[in-house]
Amino acid sequence: MLLVVTGLLAAAAASLARNPDSKDCDDRVQAWVRAEDLRPAHISHGELRIKVNQENCSHRIDSVSLRLQLDEFSEVKYLRRGAVLPEIRKAENQTRPADFGYWGSKPNDVVYDYSEYDKAMGDSNIWAVKAEERRAWSTETILFENNPDFSRAMVTPFIVAAPAVNYPPSVEVGLRAISGNTAMSGHGLTLDLIRRHAYSQLGYHYIAVVNFTDGRMVDLPAGHTNFVPTSAPLQERRPFSWNTTFTVEDGCRNHDNLPQSGERSATMERCLPEELRSVFVAEVTLDEGNVVQRGQPLKGKVTVHATNGSTTMSEISVSFTMTRIQHWATEQATTGGDDNFSCQSESRTHGVISIDDSHYAFRKEDDNSVWTSSFHYPSCRGPVTPARPYFDFELKVPETTPPDFSSYYSSEETVLGLELSVLYSSDVAVCIDGIDKYAALDDELEKSTDSAKTEEGLWDSYTRVGQPIHTSQWRRTLRLKATVPLVVLGDISARPAEHYLKPGLPSPVILPAQGDVVFPAVHPVTIEEPLANTSARLMRAEGTFDPSNSGIHSGHWHMGGRDQPDPSRHYNQGNYAGLLWKKKLVAEERGILPAQSAGAGVAHGENADGQHRFVMIP
């Protein structure tokens, strides 16, 4: 676990063992970093802690350096120009096993043969894959030298000085296998098979480089950190208004061409023809404009204009939707001849890596208050009807919303997501479901008194106490989507910062806690991953897209390529240095640690808060 494989670029740095003895110590050395986040034109303070867990190893370390680097990674899988996927045909054997079926399947559904189609996911005549890692910068400094005594844990301070440059924030994305990956079965579970795919990740990670006395060098992961980009103060706020038409989410699943999903959309179209449905247009006004600051409220009004068709509006919800646009992957795919790639290029993100996610770590023992994590996005919902077709809302922009930022491989965007529930008639529901038992129940309910409906509501999980139950409307509901563009600012700073992809800019530098700051120029290095490794991750041919046979019944399905080498896997592993730093500050506040202390066994650099001059390299 401790001897880390540092991805594509560090391999050259590894030196061979000259003396087998110190190898036994590799697993005995541990490294931690606690440190403030990085910011433009800012000095962040931090501390490195080294602990050696075996006495006879504690004198075998010659020196320890600390390295901080920004790595970026992206990978893509796309259909080669002109390639055609095998057709999924009706199976010869239509006798179904006892456990045949899936959510939404019907007793007399056709059995399909997916074997050729599934096998094609590993066919390099059909698919192309590419993965690339870019080391934006790397900075390193010696923090322990001359064979220090590690018979007890040692802590030493350091600083990281950042020039007036905005580097990208590190944003959490969902699991690799889920993000942008369409290896979905009919109801959204992820299997080993991957079709079109786009993924990217970046990370700021600390590595303790340990030199043993026998000349061996070992990299230990010591945690990760984040960068907080800044924005110029907003000059003026102007009301913003936006008109947008609601659509059935056109997610990539409609393009997947699986026979089962084709059947479902054909039934929908037969029972509820698109051209007869009402058209809903949202007119959104934001009093203070669509440029928003994290932590501030966003106030607005949405009015829904509807045409007179076969569907009626019933409820609307408003929420923040954070997306990552995979622009590098999309460009690879499009130039490679895959014209339908673009719907693959978005993935949901979770918010910046931030201590705001970790309130639990700071709760006192007697504090039983509720906490929420940033995974619970604020949203609000309310009824909209033809008689009252508008909804006023106010939402707090979460502190963990990533600021809009375009990095080398991808960009982060936040939009205001609108979801409109519209109802169709019971007749249409019967047509779609092929049965009318619910329609009969609906009729019964419609005829009953208000108090009977309220009583009924007490026996329904989704109805508020004292409210009459709605007829089983959820079965007759379509959820339509629309989005409103937002611009999310970084932390406000009067001091301008350059965007990091502008050529010739300086990069951050790590230093012992004293001395002048001289920023080196950035020299990004980009290396393509060997094709064999990318293929091992993305070109697997085990598993099936057949929703009736997805292995869920047998209880084993996997995340794609999880056991394969992955350059980006270690990016945000280990402790988040900012969280450990805040723990130190809170411990000082509460008298658990002596105030201003840099911890036990300080090696050097008492004046950690001293002045540092910024010196720019010409």
Ligand X SMILES: *[C@@H]1O[C@H](CO)[C@@H](O)[C@H](O)[C@H]1NC(C)=O
Catalog residues that contact ligand X under the rule CB under 6 A.
Answer: 8, 15, 21, 24-25, 54, 56-57, 63, 65, 79, 93, 95-97, 111, 142, 145, 211, 215, 217, 241-243, 255, 283, 308-310, 339-340, 530, 533, 565, 567
Specify the residue, 2 or 441, whose C-beta has the smaller distance to ligand X. Answer: 2
Which CB, 108 or 308, lies closer to ligand X? 308
The CB-of-218 to ligand X minimum distance in angstroms stands at 10
Shortest Å distance, C-beta 529 to ligand X:
6
Quote the least distance from Cβ 525 to ligand X, whole Å. Answer: 14
Nearest to ligand X of 213, 317 (CB atom): 213
Q: How far is the CB of 538 from ligand X (least distance, A)?
A: 13
CA-CA distance, 55 to 238, in Å (whole number)?
66
The Cα–Cα gap between 269 and 186 comes to 19
> Shortest gap between Cβ of 7 and ligand X (angstroms)?
7
For the CB of residue 56, give the shortest distance to ligand X in the complex, in Å. 4
Q: Minimal distance in Å, beta carbon 24 to ligand X? A: 4
Closest CB to ligand X among 283 and 356?
283
Q: Identify which of residues 25 and 129 has a Cβ nearer to ligand X in the complex.
A: 25
**Angle subtended at Cα 506 by Cα 503 and Cα 511, rounded to the nearest 5 degrees:** 155
CB of 21 to ligand X, least distance (A): 5
Task: Find tokens 């240095």 and name the residue.
Answer: 577
DSSP states of 182-220 as a string? --B-TTS-B-S---SEEEEEEEEEEEEEEEETTS-EEEE
Length of the chain: 618
Give whichever of 296 and 340 is closer to ligand X, judged by the CB atom: 340
Beta-carbon contacts of residue 495 (< 8 Å; ≥ 6 apart): 40, 41, 164, 230
Which sign, positive or negative, has the C-alpha torsion 340, 341, 347, 352? negative
Neighbours of 408 (CB within 10 A): 20
Shortest distance, position 245 Cβ to ligand X, whole Å: 11
Least distance to ligand X, CB of residue 549, Å: 8
CA dist., res. 313 & res. 487, Å (int): 29
Enter the DSSP assignment of 331: H
Q: Toward ligand X, which CB reaches closer, 312 or 454?
A: 312
Q: Of the two residues 217 and 430, which places its CB atom closer to ligand X in the complex?
A: 217
DSSP for residue 614: E
Rounded-to-integer distance, Cα 336 and Cα 83, Å:
11
**Positive or negative: CA dihedral 403, 568, 120, 258:** negative
Which CB, 213 or 454, lies closer to ligand X? 213
- In the complex with ligand X, the residue whose CB is nearer, 378 or 520, is 520
336 or 599: whose CB is closer to ligand X? Answer: 336
Residue 524 and residue 516 in contact, taking contact as beta carbons nearer than 8 Å: no
| Cβ distance to ligand X smaller for residue 273 or 295 | 273
Query: For the chain, percent helix, then strand, then coil, each to nearest 5?
Result: 20, 35, 45
Query: How far, in Å, CA of 65 to CA of 144, rounded?
Result: 7
544 to each of 175, 217, 340, how far by Cα in Å?
20, 45, 22
- Compute the least distance from the CB of residue 352 to ligand X, in Å: 28
Give me the least distance between CB of 505 and ligand X, in Å please: 27
Count Cβ neighbours within 10 Å for each residue of 312-332 and write b for 16 or more, e otherwise.
Answer: bbbbbbbbbbbbbbbbbbbeb
Q: Which of 192/412 has CB closer to ligand X?
A: 192
Please name which of 14, 413, 489 lies closest in space to residue 207, comparing C-alpha atoms. 14
Least Å from the CB of residue 95 to ligand X: 4
H runs (alpha helix) in 34-146: 115-119
Please name which of 331, 325, 361, 365 lies closest in space to residue 345, comparing C-alpha atoms. 325
Q: Closest CB to ligand X among 382 and 389?
A: 389
Nearest CA to 388 out of 450, 454, 302, 467 is that of: 302
Q: CA-CA distance, 240 to 466, in Å (whole number)?
A: 38
Q: Which is nearer to ligand X, 29 or 322 (CB)?
A: 29
SS3 296: coil
Distance CA 443, CA 428 (A): 14
Q: How far is the CB of 535 from ligand X (least distance, A)?
A: 10
- Residue 227: how many other CB atoms lie within 10 Å: 25
- 304 near 280, Cβ under 8 Å? yes
Closest contact distance (angstroms) between CB of 452 and ligand X is 29
For 320, phi then psi, to 5°, come to -90, 135
Residue 235 contacts residue 241 (beta carbons within 8 Å)? no
